[in-house]
């Protein structure tokens, strides 16, 4: 996230630093479960996630985020 966005939140997890979409989605998919686990145990009231393009691994990432949204 940019600096302005980052200042709005207490904790930020960056799942990928790649500028290449395919590599970014691969890294994000690989890091998503542990990031959700850490954020869930951080005692936060709300977890926001930026959407990713729903192509390839992006679809799986968004499906997992939607499932996490329904938990609580």
pLDDT value, residue 40: 83
Query: How does DSSP classify residue 9?
Result: -
pTM value is 0.77
**Residue range(s) defining the domain that contains residue 34:** 3-69
pLDDT value, residue 30: 94
pLDDT value, residue 3: 79
Give every residue of the chain whose pLDDT is below 50, as ranges: 72
Give how far Cα 60 sits from Cα of 8, 26, 53, 64, Å: 27, 11, 10, 6
pLDDT value, residue 1: 65
pLDDT value, residue 66: 93
Long-range CB contacts (within 8 A, 24+) of 10-18:
10/44, 11/39, 11/42, 11/44, 13/38, 13/39
pLDDT value, residue 47: 84
Question: Count of domains in the chain?
Answer: 1
């Amino acid at each position: 996230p940019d600096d302005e966005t980052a200042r709005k939140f207490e904790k930020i997890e960056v799942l990928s630093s790649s500028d290449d979409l395919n590599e970014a989605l691969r890294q994000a998919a690989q890091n998503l479960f542990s990031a959700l686990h850490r954020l869930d145990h951080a005692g936060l009231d709300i977890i926001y996630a930026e959407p990713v393009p729903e192509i390839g691994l992006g679809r799986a990432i968004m499906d997992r985020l939607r499932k996490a949204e329904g938990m609580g």
